[in-house]
Amino acid sequence: MSGVIAMSRQSGGDSPNSLLPCWPGNAYLALMPRNPTPPDRQSGDRFNEGQATFTMTGSQPDLAAGLAAIREVVATLKPQPGVYRMLDARGDVLYVGKARALKNRVTNYTQVDRLPLRIKRMVSQTRSMTIVTTNSEAEALLLEAQLIKRYRPPYNVLLRDDKSFPFILLRAEHDFPRITKHRGARKAKGNYYGPFASAGSVNTTINALQKLFLLRSCTDSFFSRRDRPCLLYQIKRCSAPCVGRIDPAAYAELVGEAKDFLGGKSSAVQTKIEAQMQAAAAALDYERAAMLRDRLRAATFIQGSQAINAEGVGNADVFGIAQANGQFGVQAFFIRGGQNWGHRAFFPSHTDGLDEAEVLTSFLAQFYEEVPPPRTILIDRELPEGDLLAEALAVAAGGKVEISVPQRGDRRRLMAQAERNAVEALERRQAESGSKAKLNRELAEFLELPEPPQRIEVYDNSHIQGTNAVGAMVVAGAEGFIKGQYRKWNIKQPEAAGDDYAMMREVMGRRFARAQDEDPDRDGGQWPDLVLIDGGKGQMSAVKDTLEELGIEDVPLIAIAKGPNHGREGREVFHFADGREKTLPVNSPLLFHLQRLRDEVHRFVIGAHRDKRSRAIIASPLDEIPGIGPARKRALLLHFGTAGKVRAAALEDLQCAPGVSAAVAQTVYDFYHPGG
């Protein structure tokens, strides 16, 4: 396969170097066809395009074609650090790798006799490569982790859990900073504390911190509108700065104590509060002494709720890895300020043929692609590239990162606990996987499917008398729900709102029309092996007719309808596309499994409907006026009182509103009086 070599600087957009804004001197080298392969070409066709001759081998594995594509790239490479991507005939990424010397590393793929079977299979699918050079191997390691997370290649170790970690944020852009839970990009100004293992651990900690430091958690807009204390003040979880119950200096002192506590100086904070309590008691100020006693109890609760003794460890992440039957489990403990901020088990995928050290190295690089690394990382084994990984993570941490294997003392005991938890988590995972595999086999038999489904899509819709209508889909795989692939649709057709059958037709039409456009060959993993519909015969008929109109007749459809008493007795009826009906015994594990699938989509669609309804409640007619932003809307409402009075106001009255220019007043007036 011949191609054209293009070497150029890249910036912005989707180019690989757009992921490296702070690393100058990166070069982008790609071996790609001069023009994309026409989709109607048949395997084995030869044709000329410009000065290049292409031999089409189709998308089937072809070791000779793969070696030829790699050798063409090798001829252009130099022994410098960088990242390479191996692409198949469709341009999809098969593998992302990094190298200290690109030429040497990529050349290894041409030595077929030394390659394991898994890598030979990858080489046989390779048709082109993309190369990005970097200034160092450490930079290449960071870029590799970014690209793996972005493309999720099938031959890389993948971190399955794609949920972001929650943090506690103590905001800084207000005279009275608020404490809140935060997920996602850390763009807001303030101090971030985390990561926490789960939202539940964050909520518990924030509740205790509110009792301990009486910091506000309300939004700035809510804060600005208060004229009397809210309920949190009454239950002693806020100091009510919104109505002046505490002055800025005293509140700032509480904020400082909170920073010290979260930063690891909890003992000093407790000692200070205890001294203040004793002083208040000595002065016979028993009300203040009682308040300080409650704060001290909150501090004790936070420390006493730690299931792991991490005293003396400081800030560290602890990782233990276990392997059994070809699967890996990684247990992580997050220690901050000597406090355990939670733990979570991870189960990397695509690990065939790799040892524990290789899996842990790849896991850590991907894990810290988003999570800021602490200065200390404790692991249970030496890593071949441990020093390189520490060098790469130091860039993200803004200082030296130590990756070490503890040998004795508290750290060794903590590591032993992580190792034990990793083994137990993997055993539970495999036991659950075995039971789920059995349920999937029983599901296939009960629903008369050719094989156990690997992707199940469940659909439902929600509305109240036709208002705020939404449809939703949840996805379940062989190992449970895949929440990153949940989807919801706002019902667009006015005639569909309030009609359950029409809503289902719209949702299914939009979902599968897009699937046909984006994955017509059904090899992208986004087509379901089973569609489960929350409903009865009517919903089944609507879905069946919609798919037939799209020319789709081979997707298995099942509707699950509640029986008498709305299913409280477990008498669900399963409707098949051909009109047949089946039921399951009320104590059947398979019935419980199907009910759980149905209940999950019901939970998700109800949540989407409530969110939409809440937004509609706080919406204002002024939102429909083009060019009127939040500040001007607020100015108009403050001046006139209601949106109705804004609509009835004369042009002269609109011009008198503070913060409203003559042009804006004219825009508002013209919107409500188009003919005048």
Inform me whether the pLDDT recorded for 11 exceeds 90: no
Instruction: Look up the CATH superfamily of 621-672.
Output: 5' to 3' exonuclease, C-terminal subdomain (1.10.150.20)
Share of the chain above pLDDT 90, in %: 24
CA quadruple 75, 76, 79, 81: dihedral sign: negative
Domain ranges of the chain: 4-151, 167-304, 316-428, 455-607, 621-672
Q: Give the model's pLDDT for residue 43.
A: 36
pLDDT in tens, 61-90: 688 999 999 999 999 999 999 999 999 988
Give me 527's structure tokens: 């087509």
Name the amino acid, one letter, at 595: Q
Alpha-carbon separation of residue 95 from 122, 158, 245 (angstroms) = 8, 11, 60
- Kindly indicate the confidence band of residue 530, based on its pLDDT and cuts at 50, 70 and 90: very high
CA–CA separation, 135 vs 80, rounded Å?
A: 8
C-beta of residue 151 within 8 angstroms of C-beta of residue 90: no
| Start-to-end C-alpha separation, the chain | 69
Q: What is the mean pLDDT of residues 434-453?
A: 86
pLDDT of residue 456: 93
Q: Do domains 316-428 and 455-607 have the same CATH topology?
A: yes
Which residues lie below 8 Å from residue 510, measured CB to CB, with a gap of 6+? 489
Indicate the average pLDDT of the chain: 80
Q: What is the DSSP string of 244-267?
A: TSS-HHHHHHHHHHHHHHHTT-HH
- Measured at the alpha carbon of residue 626, what is the angle toward residues 625 and 630, in degrees to the nearest 5? 75
- Higher-pLDDT residue of 311 and 472 is 472
What is the enclosing helix (H) or strand (E) of 161? none
Whether pLDDT at 585 is above 50: yes
Backbone angles phi, psi at 341, to 5 degrees: -100, 25
Q: 175 or 25: which carries more pLDDT confidence?
A: 175
Average pLDDT over residues 654-661: 82
Structure confidence at residue 467 (pLDDT): 76
149 CB-side CA count, 13 A:
21
What number is the average pLDDT over the span 326-343?
84
CB atoms closer than 10 angstroms to residue 539: 25
Task: Look at residue 135 and tell me whether its pLDDT is greater than 80.
Answer: yes
- pLDDT tens per residue across span 18-51: 444 344 344 444 444 333 333 333 333 333 322 2
CB 186 within 8 A of CB 192: yes
Longest dimension (CA), the chain: 97
Q: Give the orientation angle of helix 199-213 with respect to helix 248-262, to 10 degrees.
A: 140
Domain at 4-151, CATH homologous superfamily: GIY-YIG endonuclease (3.40.1440.10)
d(CA 65, CA 62): 5
Which ranges of 449-499 would DSSP assign to H, the alpha helix? none
pLDDT digits (tens, 9 = 90+) for 237-290: 898 999 988 988 989 988 888 888 777 676 677 777 788 788 888 888 787 788
The pLDDT assigned to 310 comes to 60
Rounded-to-10 torsion of CA 305, 310, 314, 315: -70
Q: Which CATH number fits domain 316-428: 1.10.10.10, 1.10.3720.10, 3.30.420.340, 3.40.50.2300?
A: 3.30.420.340
Say if CB 635 and CB 662 are below 8 A apart. Answer: no
**By 3-state DSSP, what share of the chain in percent is helix, strand and coil, each rounded to 5?**
45, 20, 35
Residue 581 has pLDDT above 60, yes or no: yes
Over the range 506-526, which residues count as b (16 or more CB within 10 Å of their CB) and which as e? bbbbbbbeebeeeeeeeeeee
Per-residue exposure over 626-658, b if at least 16 CB sit within 10 Å of its own CB, e if not: eebeeebbebbbebbeeeeebeebeeeebbebe
What was the pLDDT predicted at 661?
Answer: 84
Can you give the pLDDT at residue 120?
A: 92
Which tokens belong to 403?
């990756």
Residue 526's pLDDT band, with cuts at 50, 70 and 90, is confident
Cα torsion 537, 538, 543, 546: sign: positive
Q: Torsion angle of alpha carbons 451, 452, 455, 456, nearest 10°?
A: 110
Q: Which numeric CATH code is attached to 455-607?
A: 3.30.420.340
